[in-house]
Amino acid sequence: MIHFSLDELHRATATGGGPCAVWVPSEQVACHLLDVPAVAQKKWRAMVPWMLEERLLDRPDNCQFICGNRDGDGAVPVLVVARSVLAAWQRQVHTSLPPGSQCQQLIPDFFALPWQPGQVVVAVVGQRCLLRYGQWQGMAGPPEFIWPLVSQLLGDSTLNLQVFADSEAATLPPGLSATPVIVSAQALLQRPQGSWLGLDAGASASAVRASWPLAGKVAAGLALLLPVLLVAGELVETRRMAAQASHFEQALAAGYRQYFGMDYDFAPADFQRTVSRQLENRAGEGAGVGLALVDQLDQLLADCPDCRVDRLVVRDGQLQASLSGETVGEHLGPALAVIDEQQVNLQASDAGWLLQIKSGSAHE
């Protein structure tokens, strides 16, 4: 099957028609890995919009959900896309493909990257970067957004970085080392690699819609709670309930890490209130400010191999990082001496060192 991007649909004429697939930009698709309870497929599929509601940046009613298969551990990959975006893609495909060609699926383009366990894979395609860091985990965006995420993913881990680029002029930011494999975008976007999910090019009967009735929500809730209520005093059910709570907390942590690039350090009960406030702050100041602060921190720590970031908070145009290491003061002191102390400040604390960086707008 031949694969085209949305802006290459005219090329289908040269193939003589037939079935094809279309790559869609991963910037507008989210792929979640969701732990579902051990109930019938029809039941857990109906629960998906409700279980993902707190992770979404839009109302579930405005989203389309496409579920993969449930694995042995109870995890299910779920593609989420705005219904308006999916409808626009479908219209473009149906109006642009020549007669005789039939689009069978719309596939997020990060699935074109070859991935193996222990790898973080990046492809630089024009002014975009595709990122894949798991069997189902991936995204796309501008380099100034993707590279800081790659640095955080690698951290002190043993993950290896694999880079593809469509030009020899492509460069990696400081602190990252890899030899880019030069490959054209057309050659890279040949076919999906490994596990992948696709969106139907037309109206989907199997896609999960969020507009399910209130009675369905009540039934889904009872399906989760009924086993616990029936045997609520027995130790075995207490353990099951604790396991479910742990699964949901892991799902919350994974969603927070995907959107904010860091682990949350507050009580799970405060998750909705705290994340809502962080999203409002991010909308007010723009994600670019936070990324610029993280990039400035990365530059300061580039020459300090002993410096470790134990905690990182970006809020209201300011970055606070808790640092540890025997040579933090020795390496950062000279660098900070030539910087305005009202913008960058390093202080000793009980747990090590506290570094504060203010954006230009916050400083003013």
Q: Tell me the C-alpha distance between 283 and 115, whole Å.
A: 33
- Residues 20-24 have a mean pLDDT of 83
Is 53 a residue whose pLDDT tops 90?
no
CA distances from 157 to 119, 120, 151, 160, 243 (A): 11, 11, 11, 9, 27
| pLDDT for 288 | 63
Grade residue 258 by pLDDT with cuts at 50, 70 and 90: low
- Residue of higher predicted confidence among 109 and 338: 109
Tokens of 291: 């990324």
Q: What is the pLDDT of residues 78-102, one digit of tens each?
A: 989 999 999 998 888 888 777 777 7
Which has the higher per-residue pLDDT, 156 or 165? Answer: 165
Judged by average pLDDT, the poorest of 33-47, 118-132, 182-196 is 182-196
Residue 122 pLDDT: 93
Enter the tokens of residue 8: 């290459």
Over residues 148-162, the mean pLDDT reads 86
Handedness of CA 255, 259, 261, 267 (dihedral sign): negative
Most confident of the ranges 22-26, 190-194, 235-239, 254-258: 22-26
Give the phi and the psi of residue 16 in degrees, each rounded to 5.
Answer: 80, 20
Question: Mind listing the pLDDT tens digit for each residue in 300-354?
Answer: 888 788 888 888 888 878 888 898 888 888 888 777 776 766 688 888 888 788 9
What is the topology classification, in CATH, of domain 286-363?
A: Gyrase A; domain 2 (3.30.1360)
193-240 per-position pLDDT tens digit: 767 677 766 644 334 444 444 555 555 555 555 554 554 445 455 565
Domains of the chain, residue spans: 2-200, 214-281, 286-363
Helix (H, G, I), strand (E, B) or coil at 9: helix
Q: Is the pLDDT score of 19 beyond 50?
A: yes
**Nearest Cα to Cα of residue 264 among 274, 244, 156, 51:** 274
* Residues in a beta bridge with 353: 323, 348
CA distance 304 to 325: 9
Range 185-189 average pLDDT? 76
**Is residue 50 classed exposed, middle or buried when 0-12, 13-18 and 19+ CB atoms within 10 A define those classes?**
middle
Contact assessment for residue 74 and residue 38, using Cβ atoms and an 8 Å cutoff = yes
Tell me if 166 sits within 8 A of 184, measured CB to CB. yes
| pLDDT averaged over every residue in the chain | 76
Higher pLDDT, 114 or 295: 114
Helix axes 235-260, 271-285, angle to 10 degrees: 0
Q: Do 2-200 and 286-363 show the same overall fold?
A: no
CATH 3.30.420, applies to 2-200: yes
Q: What is the pTM of this model?
A: 0.52
pLDDT the model gives residue 13: 42
- Rounded to an integer, what distance in angstroms lies between the CA atom of residue 313 and that of residue 315? 6
